[in-house]
Amino acid sequence: MHDDRKLVEARLERVLRERIRPAVHPVTTPLAVEIWSTAGEPVPVAEGLAAPTVPIAPGTPWGLPWGTSWFKVTGSVPAEWSGRTVEAVLDLGFTPRTPGFQCEGLVYRPDGTPVKGLHPRNAYVRVGSPVTGGEQVHWHIEAASNPDLDGSGVPFQPTPMGDKATAGEAPQYVLGEMRLVVFDETVWNLVMDLEVLGELMVELPLDGARRWEILRAVGRALDAVDLQDVNGTAQAARDELAGVLAAPATPAAHRISAVGHAHIDSAWLWPLRETVRKVARTASNMTALLDEEPDFVFAMSQAQQFAWIKEHRPEVYARVTKAVAEGRFVPTGGMWVESDTNMPGSEAMARQFVHGKRFFLEEFGIESDEAWLPDTFGFAAGLPQIIRAAGATRLLTQKISWSRTNSFPHHTFSWEGIDGSRVFTHFPPVDSYNCEMAGRQIAHAARNFKEKGVATRSLAPTGYGDGGGGTTREMVAKAARMRSLEGAATVEWEAPADFFAKAEAEYPDPPVWVGELYLELHRATLTSQAGTKRGNRRSESLLTEAELWAATAAARADMPYPYEELDRIWKTVLLHQFHDILPGSSIAWVHREARETYARLAAELEGIIAGAQRALAGDAPGGAELVFNSAPHARGSVPAGGASVLTAQGDAVSPVPREGGGYVLANGLLRVEIDGRGLVVSAYDRVTDREAIAPGQAANLLQLHPDFPNQWDAWDVDAFYRNVGSDLTEVARLDVEGTSVRVERVFGASRVTQLLSVPADAKRLDIDTEVDWHETERFLKLAFPLDVKADRYASETQFGHVYRPTHQNTSWEWAKFEACNHRFVHIDEPGWGVAVVNDATYGHDVTRTVRTGPDAGTTTTVRASLLRAPRYPDPETDQGVHRFRHALVPGATIGDAVREGHRANLPERRVTGSAAAAVAPLVTTDNDAVVVSAVKLADDRSGDLVVRLYEAHGGRARATVRIDAFATDRAVTTDLLERPLADAEPPTAADGGVVLALHPFQMVTLRLPRA
C-alpha cells in the first residue's frame, strides 16, 4: 500500500484548524460591554460591582500596567436558540501565550457570587444546556491587566514592567469580542477524538499496526466530514473513529494517575497581591469544573494560598471547603508555601510543615502524607528527616528533570537524608507539572519511566500552572479517552495519596538515593537578590531569639508570651521563602516589598526581644550590664540561652604595622598578616604552629567575573563564567579604624569597604564587608585559598551538614560547581581544619589545585558568592549598598564551625539591669555536639515548653539536657506539630534533666509541662 501518512497527518492538522474547531460555535451574537478602571490597587468586589461604567467596543485598548478594570457584560439569548447549549465566550484581549502570564479575569454575578475565572485557554461561561430562549445575561468581570514580561517573544530581556513604579501608563491589551455562542457538543467531541488520536498516532512506532489503524480511521473520518456542513456530519465522522477509540489498552500499558493541578507561584512575574487573585480565579475555575466532571479530582498545595482565599474571597472559599469535604478538592503537601529547601534554616524548614499541616488540620481535618514541591530548585539533604518529623513519608517533585548535565537514574525511589531518614519519592516522568494531557506528553511519560519492569505507575500533575489557570474541560475529555486506549498509557484521575499508596504497594523495595537532590541548573538563585537573602537570615535569627527570650521571660518573670505576634511573623517569613522570592528570581516589585517587609518584621522582633530581656534584667538605673547570649553555646562565662553580668574583657586586638607594608593582628592564638594590598597573606594558628593560607596566595581576595548565562538570568550561572575573571587587588585606602584594619577598593562603578579584626580571646579573623554595588552582569566572589588537602568539605544544611567532593572525577561532581551552605563551610585534614562562616550568604564554590615546586602541596580554595547583577526579571538587581560578615577560623573542628556559625548569626546583646542580676538558662546541655535549635512555648497555648535539639557533629552523642522550671519527669518526645509520638520511648529523666542518646544528625523535639 502506498505510504500516504504525511498527507493524512497534514490534512488532519488543516481541517481541524480551519473547519472543525470553528464549527464548535456555529452561531454567535454579540454582548454589550461596559468598563470601569482603577489605576490604584484592586478594590473590594462590592465596590467594583457598583462602579460607574461606560461602553467599550471590541478593538479598544484597555488596562494600565498592573491595573484593574471591571467589565459589565449584558445580553439575552435569542429565542431561536431554544433547546440548544449556549455559552458566552469572553475575550479580554488574550494572546496565544500560556495562561497566567497576561490578562486574567474573574466572572461574578450581580450579587457578587463568583462564577469562574477567565484565561486564554478557558474563556467560556456556560449560560444553559439547554436554553429556552430569552434568558438574560448579566455578569461582571474583575480583569487584571498584568503585563506580559516576555511579550516581545524574546525571553529574558530587561524590562521596566516588573514594578508598578516604573511600568508607565500605556494600555496593555486590546479588548476582544465578547459574544454568546451556540456550543455544538458533537463537534467539540469530534475535536477531542481527533486531537487524542492524532497526538497518539504520531508517537507510535511506524512499523506497528496500531499507528496505521488510527491513520486509516482518521482518513475515513475526514472523508465523512462535509466541510460545508461540519455540524451536520460531525456524528458520522465520530462513528468512523469509534472502533479505534474503543480498542482497550494492553495489560502491560503504563499507568498514569492524573491529578488536577495548578502550580501557582506565590510570587514571580507578579506581586504577592496579584497571587491572591490568581488563586481565587483558579479555585473558582476548578470548583466549577468539579461540578461538571464527576471523575475529576483537583489537588492544591500551599496552605498560604488557602488562607488567602479564606481572607480575601470568602465566597470562593465556601465552594472550596464544600469540594474538600467531598474529597475532590484535595489539600496536599502540608507546607505553608512551596518553599525553597536549600536556603531556609533548620527551624524555618520545620515550621513550613508545622504551619502548613496545622492549617489543613484545623480547616479541613486533613493531614497530608506528602511533601509536594514540583518546582523547587533542588532539595537539601536534611529534608527527609524534617518530612518524617512532620508526620509525612512521601515527596513529589518534578524539577530535577531540568538538570542539564546528568539524567537522574530513578523516577520512583527512596530518598535518604543525612540522618538516615527515608521518604518514598516520585518524579513524574511526564517531565512537567503543567501536563495538558497531550498525546506527546503521555507517550513521553511511558517511554521515559525508568522503573519499567519493576513498577508500572507514575503521576501527571495536569493543568496550567505557574501563573495559574488549572485544568480545562479539554484535558478532562482527553483523559477520559485515554482511560483505556490501545497504544497509550492508561489515565485515571486520582488524589496524590491514592497514587502513592498504589505505587508503594507495587514497589515495596525501591532503590535508595543518599544525600542532596542537587538541581544542575538555577545555581545562581543561591546569590541573586542579596537583600532578600539577608532579610531572610536575619528574620530567622531574630525569631530564634524572640522565642527563646519570650519563653524565658514567661517562665522567669510571668511575662505574657506573644503567641499571635510570633505566629503571624513566622507565616510572613515562611511566605517569603517561596521558591521564587528567597531565590531572588521574582520581579523588582516582589523584592522591593520583601525588603520593606523584612525591615518591618525586624523592628517588631527587636521589640519583642527587648521587652523580654528588659523583664528578665530588671529595672536598676545605673546597674550592671548584662550580656544575653542567644547562641546554643556558651560565650566565655555567659551560658547559652542565659545572661550574666559583663566582666572586663578586650573586644579585639589592636593592629600593628607590618614590615613591608600593611598590618598585623595577633593574639596568643592567632597571628594574621595583612599586606599593603589589604589582602590576608598569613593566618597562623599559634596553638598548632600551622599556617592556614596557601603559600604565595592571599585570602580576603575579592574576585570579579562576567556573568551572562545562556538563559534564565536571575536563576543561572553557567560554568564558563570561571573562564574569565579579575582579582581586585588595587587598594584605595588602607589604615586603622579603632581595633580594625580598614580596606577600601574601587572597581567599575562600585566601592568596597572592609574592616578586618581579630578578637582578643578567639582564633578567628572577622571580616566585615560593605559593598556599594553598581555593576551589571558581574559576579563578585570572596576567596580564601587554604593550605589544606581535602577531598571533601562540609556545608551546613538543616539539622546538620552535608559533604561534597572538592574534586571533579565525574560529571556529577563537576556539575556542583556552585552549591549552598548555611552558616559555615568546613574543610580539614585529619587533625586540623579551617572554617569559613558567614551571616548572610549561601552560594559558594570549593576547588582544589596541586602546587608544584618547593611549595608542593594542595590548595583548597573556598569562595563565598557575594553579589550578582542580572537584568531579568529585575533590571536593577542588587544595585546599592550591601553588608556581609564572614570569619576565617584556622584550626577549626567541625564543632568549632558549628559554634562560630551560630556566634556570627546570633550576636550577644547587652542590657543594663539589676547589679547582681543573672538569668539562668531554661535549657542547657552537657555536650556541645547536641545543639538546641528552638526554645519556645507550645503553640496550643498550654504553657508547656517545647525544646528542639539535634546532633550537630555527625557522630553519636549522649547528653543530659537540663530544663529548669519545667517537669523533666513528664517530658515527652513529639513530632514537629508538638504531638506525642506514639511509638517513641519516653525520654529518660535523670539528675534533674533528660538523658538523650542521639545518632548522627538526629533531631528530637521535647515537650514539658510547667513544674
C-alpha cell at 342: 536549600
C-alpha cell at 168: 508607565
219-227 own/partner pairs: CB under 8 Å, 24+ apart? 219/8, 219/11, 221/190, 221/193, 221/194, 222/8, 222/11, 222/12, 222/15, 225/15, 225/19, 225/20, 227/15, 227/19
Tell me, what DSSP letter sits at residue 16? I
CB atoms within 10 A of CB 378: 25
Helices (H) and strands (E) in the chain, counts: 18, 53
Concatenated DSSP letters of 133-189: S--EEEEEEEEEE---TTTTSSTT---GGGSTTTS-S---EE---EEEEE--HHHHH
Rounded CA gap, 137 and 122, in Å?
A: 19
Q: Which of 815, 208, 91 is nearest to 522 (CA)?
A: 815
State the catalytic residues: 375
The dihedral region occupied by 618, where left means phi > 0, alpha psi between -120 and 50, and beta the remainder, is left
List, in sequence order, every beta strand (DSSP E) within 527-655. 625-628, 643-645
Provide the angle, in degrees to the nearest 10, between the axes of the packed helices 530-557 and 563-575. Answer: 160
List C-alpha distances in Å: 42 to 69, 264, 304, 420, 836. Answer: 9, 20, 20, 49, 47
Strand duo 750-757 + 726-728: pairing: unpaired
Q: Which of 122, 470, 514 is nearest to 296 (CA)?
A: 470
Max Cα distance, the chain (Å):
104
Rounded CA gap, 112 and 43, in Å?
A: 13
Is the Cβ–Cβ distance between 632 and 346 less than 8 Å? no
Rounded CA gap, 665 and 1005, in Å?
A: 43
Rounded CA gap, 129 and 403, in Å?
A: 48
Q: Which residues of 492-530 are buried (b: 16+ CB within 10 A; e: fewer)?
A: bbbbbbbbbebbbeebeebeebeebbbbbbbbbbbbbbb
List C-alpha distances in Å: 34 to 65, 70, 813. Answer: 20, 8, 60
Instruction: Report the Cα–Cα distance between both ends of the chain, in Å, rounded.
Output: 90
Strands across the sheet with 972-974, in order? 930-937, 945-951, 1003-1008, 972-974
Is the Cβ–Cβ distance between 118 and 277 less than 8 Å? no
Q: Count the residues in the chain.
A: 1011
Q: Which residues of 131-155 are buried (b: 16+ CB within 10 A; e: fewer)?
A: bebebebebbbbbbbbbbbbeeeee
By three-state DSSP, how is residue 361 classified? helix
- Identity at 944, one-letter amino acid code: D
